[in-house]
Structure 1
């Protein structure tokens, strides 16, 4: 029971965090984000994919659907953010730029959901339905 509550807390926090970050990318002008991606050496079109994954993945995590795989996806997004954007500033920042401590925490949360084989409400509901059919 306690593990399920812990998984729920991580799912909700991670889902809301990524949903809001993705939504902000669209609201602040996704074309600007695409331009920034290009300026750091990433394909501009990747911004659309990342923002969409954050919004849709955030909703799915909150609902509890595809939890393990969304956790893995978000962990990989954070690996990219750390390496491509934040690494040079270090863990806690360099006085000018923020560090990657938040991204590292989000990476760990996503990795946990994947490694722990965490699931959610909809995942459990679908498993139950499938087991009743067999």
Structure 2
């Protein structure tokens, strides 16, 4: 695979993860945290933790979409997805039930976040413009 296609693939993964996480966080605030906690009736999550997760998702999603602190943000998102899987959705199963989604999307988002956290270099990111360092994503000379 050419290097340029590889860069575009990483960029698309970052955008997908950022947009998906952002929308999920925004939805938590739009429908209200009380309704979100009702949807999670099988467990008891403190309301402060729900707000924290919502804020992490909204801000983290924005950071990922613009490409700011991608490695740190992806690591935090990976932890949130891991908690979602283990604390909420594992008992429901991979595909879930007629009433509740399983952990298939969370696992996909965890995989993308893990890749971005480990890779650390992402193309078309604002951090490559504003913070010139050795970690900036550069095309190798061919």
Q: TM-score, normalised by structure 2?
A: 0.81
Cα deviation for residue 32 of structure 1 reads 3.1
2:101 aligns with 98
The structure with the greater share of residues assigned to helix is: 1
- Describe the shift of the 1:72–1:41 C-alpha distance in structure 2 as closer, same or farther (beyond 3 A): same
Deviations 1:68-98 (CA, angstroms, capped at 9, x unpaired): 1111111111111111111012212255543
Q: TM-score, normalised by structure 1?
A: 0.85
Deviations 1:96-128 (CA, angstroms, capped at 9, x unpaired): 543211110000000000111133521111332
Measured in 2, the distance between the counterparts of 1:96 and 1:24 equals: 18
Structure 1 unaligned residues grouped into runs of 5+: none
Measured in 2, the distance between the counterparts of 1:27 and 1:55 equals: 12
- Describe the shift of the 1:125–1:89 C-alpha distance in structure 2 as closer, same or farther (beyond 3 A): same
2:45 aligns with 42
Equivalenced residues, count: 130
SS at match of 2:131: helix
Query: Which of residues 121, 126, 134 is equivalent to 2:130?
Result: 126
Which deviates more, 86-95 or 60-69? Answer: 86-95
Measured in 2, the distance between the counterparts of 1:38 and 1:66 equals: 34
2:35 aligns with 32
1:67 aligns with 70
Structure 1 vs Structure 2 CA RMSD: 2.1
